[in-house]
C-alpha cells in the first residue's frame, strides 16, 4: 500500500459478518432545521440481540454528542465514550430508551452525504453510510426500525417538509417557524431514511392499485420546473401498473413522493415513500431533453420505484449483498423499458453499456465479483459489475427457468423474505425452490470475477451431414482470483442452413464444462453459426466467422441482437485489421450498411443502432494493446469512406426523416435516431455543404435530440459553423444547468485534435464548478471516456483528470473516486502512456489527507 499520510484504511470482509448486537425497533427523530445549524434529537428504543455483554455501539461520522440520555436520565461523561467517531454506551438491561442530541451543518456539507443543502433545499442522502453523518445510529442495513420524524423549520424558507411514510400532523410554531410529522409504518434500515425541506411545487396525481387503494403521487420541483415533470409522472404510473402486472407487487403506502435536486452524487435514491432524484432523471421537455434523456427518466423512475419491493420490503443483510437489490432492480427496469418501447433496441443499448463499462471493469485492476469479498469504502462498489453484470446474472436465471418458473421463484423470494434483510444466497435458494432448478454450479457467477471467453468452432461432415459445435470456455484471472472454475453459460444458438437461408429452430445450449461439443444433423452444406442470440450470457464469443457469413447474418438473422452483432463484428474486423496494418475489404461492410439502411422491414431505431460504427474504446478492447491514435485514424477513415460511398443515401435519409412537429412516439424517436446517424455520415463524407446542413439542423430543430446531435457533429469537425453553434448553444441555455452540462459534455466527447486543450480551458470556464457532480461528470467524466483525447500522447489528459480528482477529493470524495478507474487501465497501453498513467496515480496517492474512497481506487489501480 502507498503512503496516504495516515493509517491505511481498514479492509471490511464479507466473511466477517456478525449479527447486530443491538436492535432498534423504534426510532423518533426530531429535526430543528436550519442550513447553518440543524439540531437532531434522536430517541432510540434499543433491544439486546442475543445473550452477550457488549455495549451499544452507535456509528457516527463527524458528530459530537451534546447530550446522551438513557431511560430519561442524562449520562455523565463517564457513562459513554467515543471510538473512531462512534458513540459507545455500556447498558445493563435488555431494553432501553437512548437519546442523543447533535448539531450538524448542512450548508457546509460538500460530500452530499447525510443532510445537505442543494440550491435552497435541505435534503438527505443516506445510502450507503450517510445516516451516521446525521445522528448516532447502528448504521448497517440489517437493523430495521419504525421511524417517527418531526421537522421544524422556517416557514418562508422551507414551506414544504417531507419525510418517509405518511404525514401525520403539521402546525405553526413561534417566530415564523412551522412543523410537520411523518410516520413510516414499515420497518426499514437507516439508509432508506430521507427528509426534504424547501420551497417546492408539486405535480400531484394519483394511482389506484390492483386492490383498489388510491395512492397520492407527488413530484416536487421548483415552481419553474413543473412543466418538465409530465414524463416522470407518466413513467411512475406505468411502473406501478407494470410491477402489479408482471410481478404481482402492489404499492404499500398512501403517499409516494419524488423530489428532484440539482446536486446529487448518483442518479437517484429509493428512500421509502420519498425518492430523491438527481434532477436530470426527472426533468424533461422537448426543448431541453434528448430522446436518450427521456428514456433515462423513464428507466430511473422505474428503477427507484421497483426498489420498493426489491430493496425496501426485502432489503440487504450487509453491503456485500448490494447486487441482491441492484442487479435484480436493474433487470426489472430493463424489462420495463423494453415493454414500454422496443425490446430489440433496448437489449442492444443495454449490451453496449455493459461492454463499455462492465467488461472494461472486469478486465482491469478493479475487477470484482458481483458479490465482492472485501472493500475499504463501500461507495466504490456501486459499480457496473454489481448493477449491470448483476442484472445479467438474474437474466440468465430467468432464461433458464422460463417466465412461469421465474415468477414462481420471485414470488417465493418476496413472500419468504418480506420485511427481512436478505442475502444473494436467499435469492438463489428461492429461485431453486420456486423454480425447481439446481443452481449449485451457477452460483459461481456470484463468486468469480472476469468476463468468460467462449471459443466456438463449427465443424461439418459433408458425408453424414452432421455439424459439430465445439465450445471451450475460459475465465481470465482477476485480482485475488488466479484460477477459475467453469461457469454455467446458457447460449441461445441457431444454425442457418445456407441452402434454405433459414434455421430449423433455436436451441438453448448449456455450456457447463471447460470444453463441450454439440452435434446437429441434417446439413448438406456447412451451416452458419448464430450464437449467444439476444446476448443470453455476459461473455465474449470468439468465433472465426468469415465476412461473408457475417454479412449473411446481418441481413437474415431473425434474432435482432444477433443481426446487430453480425453487423458490428463486420465493422470490428475491418477496423482491427486496418489498425494491425492488414489488407482489408471495406466493400462488404459498405454493402451490408446499404442493405440494412434500405430495408423497409426494419425499425429505423434498430437500423440506427446497427449501422453506427463501434466506439473507439470498444475497438481498443478487441486489441492486445490499445493504440488510440491508430484506432481513431482507422475509424475516421472508414466513416469517411462510408460517407462518400453512400452519400446519396445519407442525403435521402436525412431529408426523409425531417419531421413536421415534435412527437415522442417510437416512430418519431426512431426517425430522429436514424436522421442523426445519416447526418454523421454525410458530414464525414467531406461534402462541401455538410457543415451547413448540420448547422441548419442545429438551428431549426424543435427538439434537443436533433440540436445536440448536430452540435456534436459540428464539434468534431473544423468548420466555421463549429464555433458559431457552440456559442449560440451556450448563450441560449446558460441559465439551464442540465443543458449547460450538455455543452460541456459535447466538447469533452468531441473527436477533435485540440480536445485536451479545450477541456483544460473549460475547467477554468466561469460556468464550471466542482461542487456540482453533474457538471464534473459532464466535463471530466466524458473526457476520460473519449479514448483518443484522454490518451493524448503528451499525457496531458491524464494530468487534467488527476488534478480534478485531487481537487475534488477535498470536497466530494465519492465523486472524485469515480473518476479514477480510467487511469487504472495502464496495462493496456504502451510503455510511455503506462508510465505517465502510473505517475498520475502515484501523485494522487501522495496527496496528504486523501480520502478512503480515492485511496482504495488509486492504490488498487497501481497493482
Ligand atoms: N440505490 C441507488 C439506486 O437506485 C443508488 C445510490 C447509491 C444513490 C448511493 C445514492 C447513493 O441505484
Ligand atoms: Zn438501485
Distance 478 CA to ligand 2 centre (A): 26
Distances (CA, A) of 161 to 154, 177, 196: 10, 12, 6
Distance 437 CA to ligand 2 centre (A): 27
Question: Is the beta carbon of 319 within 6 A of some atom in ligand 1?
Answer: no
Q: How far is the C-alpha of 529 from the C-alpha of 545, rounded, in Å?
A: 8
pLDDT of residue 8: 81
Distance 382 CA to ligand 1 centre (A): 8
pLDDT of residue 6: 56
Pairing between β-strand 255-261 and β-strand 214-221 as defined by DSSP bridges: parallel
Ligand nearest to the CA of 264: 1
Please identify, by atom number, the ligand 1 atom nearest to the C-alpha of residue 311.
1
304: annotated active-site residue: yes
Question: Is the beta carbon of 382 within 6 A of some atom in ligand 1?
Answer: yes
- Residue to probe by mutation, ligand 1, list 126, 270, 308, most atoms within 8 Å of CB: 270
Short-list 145, 139, 5, 121, CA closest to 61? 139
What letter would DSSP give residue 135? Answer: S
pLDDT of residue 9: 87
Q: Cis bond leading into 675, ω under 30°?
A: no
Q: What is the DSSP string of 383-437?
A: -HIIIIIHHHHHHHHHHHHHHHHHHHHHHHHHHHHTTSEE-HHHHHHHHHHHHT-
Distance 267 CA to ligand 1 centre (A): 7
Pairing between β-strand 315-316 and β-strand 421-422 as defined by DSSP bridges: parallel
Taking ligand 2, which is a single-atom ion, which protein residues have CB atoms under 5 Å away? 326, 329
How many residues make up the chain in this entry?
A: 863
Q: How far is the C-alpha of 361 from the C-alpha of 343, rounded, in Å?
A: 26
Positions of the chain with pLDDT under 70 = 1-6
pLDDT of residue 5: 46
Question: Is the beta carbon of 303 within 6 A of some atom in ligand 1?
Answer: yes
Distance 322 CA to ligand 2 centre (A): 9
Q: How far is the C-alpha of 580 from the C-alpha of 593, rounded, in Å?
A: 23
Residue 273: how many CA atoms within 13 Å on its side-chain side? Answer: 22
User: CB-based burial of residue 481 (10 Å sphere; 0-12 exposed, 13-18 middle, 19+ buried)?
Assistant: middle
User: CB-based burial of residue 232 (10 Å sphere; 0-12 exposed, 13-18 middle, 19+ buried)?
Assistant: buried
Q: Which domains does the chain have, with CATH numbers?
A: 317-447 (1.10.390.10), 453-537 (2.60.40.1840), 734-863 (1.25.50.10)
Ligand nearest to the CA of 324: 2
Distance 493 CA to ligand 2 centre (A): 32
* Residues contacting 165, CB < 8 A, separation 6+: 147, 182, 183, 184, 185, 186, 253, 255, 272, 273
Please identify, by atom number, the ligand 1 atom nearest to the C-alpha of residue 303.
4
Q: Can you name the residues that pair with 28 across neighbouring β-strands?
A: 43, 148
Q: From the candidates 270, 304, 326, 706, which is the catalytic residue?
A: 304
Smallest CA separation from ligand 1 atom 9, residue: 127
Ligand nearest to the CA of 191: 1
Question: Is the beta carbon of 270 within 6 A of some atom in ligand 1?
Answer: yes
The mean of the pLDDT values for the chain is: 98
pLDDT one-digit tens code per residue, 391-406: 999 999 999 999 999 9
Smallest CA separation from ligand 1 atom 5, residue: 269
| Prediction ipTM score | 0.98
Amino acid at each position: 500500500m502507498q503512503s496516504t499520510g495516515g493509517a491505511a484504511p481498514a479492509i471490511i470482509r464479507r466473511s466477517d459478518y456478525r449479527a447486530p448486537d443491538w436492535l432498534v425497533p423504534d426510532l423518533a427523530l426530531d429535526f430543528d432545521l436550519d442550513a447553518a445549524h440543524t439540531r437532531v434529537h434522536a430517541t432510540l428504543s434499543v433491544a439486546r440481540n442475543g445473550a452477550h455483554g457488549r455495549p451499544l455501539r452507535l456509528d457516527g461520522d463527524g458528530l459530537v454528542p451534546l447530550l446522551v440520555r438513557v431511560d430519561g436520565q442524562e449520562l455523565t461523561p463517564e457513562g459513554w465514550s467515543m471510538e473512531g467517531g462512534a458513540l459507545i454506551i455500556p447498558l445493563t438491561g435488555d431494553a432501553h430508551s437512548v437519546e442523543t442530541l447533535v448539531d450538524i451543518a448542512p450548508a457546509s456539507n460538500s460530500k452530499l452525504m447525510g443532510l445537505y443543502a442543494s440550491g435552497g433545499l435541505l435534503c438527505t442522502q443516506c445510502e450507503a453510510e450517510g445516516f451516521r453523518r446525521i445522528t448516532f445510529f447502528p448504521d448497517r442495513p440489517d437493523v430495521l426500525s419504525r421511524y417517527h420524524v418531526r421537522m421544524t423549520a422556517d416557514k418562508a424558507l422551507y414551506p414544504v417538509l417531507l419525510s418517509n411514510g405518511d404525514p401525520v400532523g403539521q402546525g405553526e410554531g413561534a417566530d415564523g417557524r412551522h412543523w410537520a410529522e411523518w410516520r413510516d409504518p414499515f420497518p426499514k434500515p437507516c439508509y432508506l431514511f430521507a427528509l426534504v425541506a424547501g420551497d417546492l411545487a408539486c405535480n400531484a396525481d394519483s394511482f389506484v392499485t390492483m386492490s383498489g387503494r388510491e395512492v397520492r403521487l407527488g413530484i416536487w420541483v421548483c415552481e419553474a420546473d413543473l412543466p418538465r415533470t409530465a414524463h416522470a409522472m407518466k413513467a411512475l404510473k406505468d411502473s406501478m401498473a407494470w410491477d402489479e402486472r408482471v410481478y404481482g407487487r402492489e404499492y404499500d403506502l398512501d403517499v409516494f413522493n419524488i423530489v428532484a435536486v440539482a446536486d446529487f452524487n448518483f442518479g437517484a435514491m429509493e428512500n421509502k415513500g420519498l425518492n430523491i432524484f438527481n434532477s436530470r432523471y426527472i426533468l424533461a421537455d422537448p426543448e431541453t431533453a434528448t430522446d436518450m434523456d427521456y428514456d433515462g427518466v423513464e428507466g430511473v423512475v422505474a428503477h427507484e420505484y421497483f426498489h420498493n419491493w426489491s430493496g425496501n420490503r426485502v432489503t440487504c443483510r450487509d453491503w456485500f449483498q448490494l447486487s441482491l437489490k441492484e442487479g435484480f432492480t436493474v433487470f426489472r427496469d430493463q424489462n420495463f423499458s423494453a415493454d414500454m418501447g422496443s425490446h430489440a433496441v433496448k437489449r442492444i443499448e443495454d449490451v453496449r453499456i455493459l461492454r463499455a463499462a462492465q467488461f472494461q471493469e472486469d478486465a482491469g485492476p478493479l475487477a470484482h465479483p458481483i458479490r465482492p469479498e472485501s472493500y475499504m469504502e463501500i461507495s466504490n462498489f456501486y459499480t457496473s459489475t454489481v448493477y449491470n453484470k448483476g442484472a445479467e446474472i438474474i437474466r440468465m436465471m430467468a432464461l433458464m427457468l422460463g417466465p412461469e418458473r421465474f415468477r414462481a421463484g420471485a414470488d417465493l423470494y418476496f413472500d419468504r423474505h418480506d420485511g427481512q434483510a436478505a442475502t444473494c444466497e436467499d435469492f438463489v435458494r428461492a429461485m431453486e425452490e420456486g423454480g425447481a432448478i439446481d443452481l449449485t454450479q451457477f452460483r459461481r457467477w456470484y463468486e468469480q470475477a472476469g468476463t468468460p471467453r467462449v471459443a466456438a468452432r463449427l465443424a461439418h461432415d459433408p458425408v453424414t451431414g452432421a455439424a459439430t459445435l465445439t465450445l471451450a470456455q475460459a475465465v481470465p484471472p482477476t485480482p485475488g482470483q488466479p484460477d477459475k472454475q467453469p461457469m454455467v453459460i446458457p447460449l441461445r444458438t441457431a444454425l442457418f442452413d445456407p441452402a434454405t437461408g433459414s434455421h430449423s429452430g433455436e436451441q438453448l445450449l448449456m455450456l457447463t464444462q471447460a470444453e463441450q461439443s454439440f452435434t446437429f444433423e441434417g446439413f448438406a452444406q456447412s451451416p452458419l453459426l448464430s450464437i449467444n442470440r439476444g446476448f443470453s450470457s455476459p461473455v465474449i464469443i470468439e468465433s472465426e466467422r468469415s465476412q461473408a457469413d457475417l454479412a449473411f447474418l446481418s441481413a437474415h438473422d431473425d434474432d435482432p441482437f444477433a443481426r446487430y452483432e453480425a453487423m458490428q463484428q463486420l465493422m470490428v474486423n475491418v477496423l482491427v485489421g486496418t489498425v494491425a496494418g492488414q489488407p482489408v475489404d471495406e466493400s462488404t461492410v459498405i454493402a451490408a450498411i446499404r442493405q440494412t439502411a434500405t430495408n423497409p422491414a426494419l425499425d429505423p431505431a434498430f437500423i440506427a443502432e446497427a449501422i453506427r460504427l463501434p466506439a473507439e474504446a470498444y475497438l481498443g478492447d478487441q486489441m492486445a494493446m490499445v493504440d488510440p491514435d491508430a484506432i481513431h485514424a482507422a475509424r475516421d477513415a472508414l466513416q469517411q469512406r462510408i460517407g462518400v460511398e453512400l452519400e446519396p443515401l445519407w442525403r435521402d435519409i436525412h431529408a426523409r426523416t425531417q419531421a413536421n412537429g415534435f412527437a415522442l412516439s417510437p416512430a418519431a424517436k426512431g426517425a430522429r435516431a436514424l436522421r442523426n446517424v445519416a447526418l454523421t455520415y454525410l458530414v464525414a463524407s467531406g461534402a462541401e455543404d455538410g457543415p451547413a446542413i448540420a448547422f441548419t439542423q442545429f438551428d431549426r430543430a424543435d427538439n434537443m435530440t436533433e440540436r445536440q446531435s448536430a452540435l456534436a457533429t459540428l464539434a468534431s469537425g473544423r468548420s466555421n459553423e463549429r464555433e458559431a453553434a457552440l456559442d449560440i448553444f451556450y448563450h441560449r441555455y446558460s441559465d439551464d444547468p442540465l443543458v449547460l452540462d450538455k455543452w460541456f459534455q459535447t466538447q469533452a466527447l468531441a473527436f477533435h485534435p485540440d480536445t485536451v486543450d479545450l477541456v483544460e480551458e473549460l475547467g477554468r470556464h466561469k460556468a464550471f464548478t466542482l461542487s456540482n457532480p453533474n457538471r464534473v461528470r459532464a466535463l471530466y467524466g466524458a473526457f476520460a471516456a473519449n479514448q483518443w483525447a484522454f490518451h493524448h500522447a503528451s499525457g496531458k489528459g491524464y494530468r487534467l483528470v488527476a488534478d480534478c480528482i485531487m481537487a475534488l477529493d477535498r470536497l466530494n470524495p465519492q465523486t472524485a473516486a469515480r473518476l479514477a478507474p480510467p487511469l487504472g487501465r495502464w496495462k493496456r497501453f504502451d510503455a510511455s502512456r503506462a508510465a505517465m498513467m502510473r505517475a498520475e496515480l502515484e501523485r494522487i496517492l501522495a496527496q496528504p489527507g486523501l480520502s478512503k474512497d480515492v485511496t482504495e481506487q488509486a492504490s488498487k489501480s497501481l497493482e
